[in-house]
Amino acid sequence: MDKLQAHLPPTAKHIAFAYKDINTHICSMLINILAKEHTHDASIEVVNLPLSAVQRTQYYSIGIHPWYIDKANYSKTVEKFYIVASESKCLAIGECGLDKSFESNYNLQKEIFKEQVKAANLFKKPIILYCHKAWNDVLKILDLQKNKVPIIVPMYQVENFELVSKLQKAIKDFYIYFDKSLYLNNNEAIKTLKNISAKNIFIANTDADISIKDIYTTAAKFLNINDATLQQQILENFYKVFNLENLPL
């Protein structure tokens, strides 16, 4: 058994084996936790579906983004969201959260975010956050709703490592995902990656012009580890956070 499969839970080993290159006998297990469409650029892609989507990808997340709240159809939107969120191949709730730059519907944003936190805890699925200038309100809602599911935060929305440290202290199951900003050598992304446990990180890519493999390679370089070791760790994180044991294969 190669390094990537060592010490993995049984289901994770099974999935890793499914992606083994039969010529090199080396596992390549690239997981993209927030793809905007199914690009086949990673071994597993959790595609962020819009509520209007008719077709489902293999695995997906669903959320009501604060940019796209329809006040006139609030009840129908929440009802449809709950239906999709309950589906077995919906692995996460999000992107969802708050954006204070949209002041006209901010109170409604908070109500809808509360509903999504409730749904995430009901269905025991992690939350992929979107937050712009509203971290205090996000933390308050998570606390009031007695959130118990993992929270995944995008690095590109966190201003600096100091805020990352604050969020990590405030959120029990805190994870952060890195995207192309790391590949483009963003200083704060690099600093955060070097100062946070690899057990709390994911990789995501929504840019069709950049391969997720390059983001993994960049992350491994800054961590001074090889690609296979990073892939193993993120696979373990994925297994734990996304409830991989119950993943329909």
pLDDT digits (tens, 9 = 90+) for 9-31: 544 544 443 333 323 334 468 99
**What single string gives the DSSP state of each residue in 125-142?**
--EEEEEES-HHHHHHHH
Do residues 34 and 22 touch, judged by C-beta distance below 8 A?
no
Q: Which residue has the tokens 């006139």?
A: 72
Do residues 63 and 53 touch, judged by C-beta distance below 8 A?
no
Do residues 164 and 191 touch, judged by C-beta distance below 8 A?
no
Nearest CA to 30 out of 216, 197, 200 is that of 216
* pLDDT averaged over 10-residue windows placed end to end, the chain, 249 residues: 47 43 49 85 92 90 94 93 96 97 94 98 98 97 98 93 96 96 95 97 92 96 96 94 68
Q: Which residues pair with 152 in a beta bridge?
A: 128, 175
pLDDT digits (tens, 9 = 90+) for 103-126: 899 999 999 999 999 999 999 999
Q: Which residue has the tokens 């690239």?
A: 30
Q: Cα–Cα distance between 37 and 191 in angstroms, integer?
A: 29
Q: Cα–Cα distance between 183 and 201 in angstroms, integer?
A: 15
Class (C level, CATH) for 10-246: alpha beta
Q: What is the DSSP letter of 20?
A: B
Task: Domain ranges for the chain, please list them.
Answer: 10-246
- pLDDT value, residue 246: 54
